[in-house]
């Protein structure tokens, strides 16, 4: 009876496993992959049958939500951005640095690494150049781990995936004007109840002085505001507005509302501040990539923060690095941040030192 019981339990475990996991190894050939128009070829590289890729490749008919994505990758160390078409790539030229890799979600066609950087989004990893390295991505709901070379300890734990949970295709990417890469042994496994080794730390207490929601307008050409020192009600009458909450960091990702186009690359982020009296209030803020700030229709400051705008190493990441002194009237005051996107992330972040004498109305 004991042996029968053990056999039945083992059978149940096997059934449960196969109900929740479907591992698929995808050979590199034209029958299994959809390739972009950039360069690719199948070849032997460093002793493995591999895919040379300068572009992107998606697994045909793939469906992935929770589980694992695994592959081997070989790089030369030249400047490049290569990895999985699942929101993750490595930067071989930054080997060992804090930004050696990147989790970056895409919203309405816009990447957002200038908003999502540092701990929880990237990790220092020393890469092996001109050798095969194994990478495994483990996804479980709104969290994920990335293993690089060391398959026992995750190099990166992502405690808060920024996109909604949904299924999609998987694939690989490299090149795009930068260094290509070689790939081998690609596989993915769907596991609905995937478990992670890592656990999220206790969330930091939210700064109560941060502006935690904005009214975001539809897009317009940022050049419209050139020499526009006063905004009249007539200027704003045709705009449509969407309420957008900030994220746990206080950053508000404007591309959650919409994308941009060549002549539609800016939007207003609006907040109303009620003041008990006429007073001046300091507001710290960050933005990506260009900004103009209007208080009750009057232009009070502007700035530029896009990638390489200050020197060739400048990243243009967002933070509370600037400040403006708001001359507030008694009653309601309309504050407009005209934020334009250039590359790498479209966002706004703002916080008062204190809320004495004022109330944020959004």
- Regarding whether 330 and 220 lie in a shared domain, the answer is yes
Residue 198 lies in a domain: no
- Regarding whether 356 and 217 lie in a shared domain, the answer is yes
- Regarding whether 39 and 87 lie in a shared domain, the answer is yes
CATH number, domain of 128, equals 2.60.120.560
Per-residue pLDDT of the chain in tens (362 residues, 90 and over written 9)? 434 433 434 333 333 333 445 678 899 998 999 998 789 999 999 999 999 999 999 999 999 999 999 999 999 999 999 999 999 999 999 999 999 999 999 999 999 999 999 999 999 999 999 999 999 999 999 999 999 999 999 999 999 999 999 999 999 999 988 999 999 999 999 999 999 999 888 777 778 899 999 999 999 999 999 999 999 999 999 999 999 999 989 999 999 999 999 899 999 999 999 999 999 999 999 999 999 999 999 999 999 998 889 998 889 999 999 999 999 999 999 999 999 999 999 999 999 999 999 999 97
- Regarding whether 347 and 218 lie in a shared domain, the answer is yes
Residue 45 lies in a domain: yes
- Regarding whether 276 and 341 lie in a shared domain, the answer is yes
- Determine the Cα–Cα distance for residues 20 and 189; give it in Å rounded to an integer: 9
- Determine the Cα–Cα distance for residues 340 and 314; give it in Å rounded to an integer: 18
Residue 197 lies in a domain: no
- Determine the Cα–Cα distance for residues 136 and 185; give it in Å rounded to an integer: 11
- Regarding whether 182 and 112 lie in a shared domain, the answer is yes
Q: What is the DSSP string of 234-265?
A: HHHTT--EEEEE--TTS-EEGGGT---BTTB-
Residues 6 or more apart whose Cβ sits within 8 Å of residue 119: none
Residue 11 lies in a domain: no
- Regarding whether 177 and 44 lie in a shared domain, the answer is yes
- Regarding whether 187 and 286 lie in a shared domain, the answer is no
- Regarding whether 281 and 141 lie in a shared domain, the answer is no
Q: Which DSSP helix (H) or strand (E) runs through 4? A: helix 2-20
Residue 196 lies in a domain: no
Domain that holds residue 34: 22-191
CATH number, domain of 251, equals 2.60.120
Residue 206 lies in a domain: no
Q: How many domains does the chain have?
A: 2
Residues 6 or more apart whose Cβ sits within 8 Å of residue 222: 265, 266, 290, 338, 340
The pTM is what?
Answer: 0.89
């Amino acid at each position: 009876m004991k042996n029968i019981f053990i056999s039945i339990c083992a059978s149940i475990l096997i059934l449960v496993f196969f109900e929740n996991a479907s591992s698929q190894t995808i050979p590199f050939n034209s029958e299994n992959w959809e390739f972009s128009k950039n360069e690719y070829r199948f070849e032997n590289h460093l002793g493995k049958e591999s895919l040379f890729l300068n572009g992107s490749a998606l697994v045909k008919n793939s469906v992935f939500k929770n589980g694992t994505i695994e592959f081997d990758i070989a790089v030369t160390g030249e400047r490049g951005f290569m990895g999985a078409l699942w929101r993750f790539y490595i930067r071989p030229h930054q080997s060992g640095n804090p930004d050696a890799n990147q989790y970056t979600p895409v919203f309405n066609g816009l990447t957002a690494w200038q908003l999502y950087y540092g701990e929880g989004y990237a990790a220092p990893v020393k890469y092996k150049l001109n050798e095969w390295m194994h990478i495994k991505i483990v996804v479980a709901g709104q969290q994920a781990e990335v293993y690089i070379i060391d398959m026992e300890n995750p190099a990166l734990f992502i405690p808060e995936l920024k996109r909604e949970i949904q299924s999609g295709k998987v694939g690989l990417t490299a090149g795009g004007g930068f260094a290509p890469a070689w790939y081998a042994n690609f596989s993915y496994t769907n596991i609905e109840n995937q478990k992670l080794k890592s656990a999220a730390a206790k969330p930091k207490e939210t700064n109560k002085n941060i502006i935690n929601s904005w009214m975001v307008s539809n897009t317009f050409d940022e050049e419209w505001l050139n020499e526009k020192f006063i905004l009249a009600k007539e200027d704003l009458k045709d705009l449509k507005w969407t309420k957008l909450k900030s994220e746990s960091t206080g950053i508000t990702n404007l591309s959650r509302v919409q994308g941009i186009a060549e002549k539609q690359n800016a939007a207003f982020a609006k907040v109303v501040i009620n003041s008990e009296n006429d007073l001046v209030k300091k507001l710290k803020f960050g933005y990506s990539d260009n900004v103009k700030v209007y208080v009750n229709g009057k232009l009070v400051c502007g700035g530029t923060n896009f990638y390489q705008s200050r020197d060739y190493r400048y990243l243009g990441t967002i933070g509370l690095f600037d400040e403006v002194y708001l001359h507030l009237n008694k009653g309601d005051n309309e504050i407009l941040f005209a934020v334009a996107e250039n590359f790498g992330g479209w966002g706004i972040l703002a916080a008062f030192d204190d809320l004495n004498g004022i109330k944020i109305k959004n």
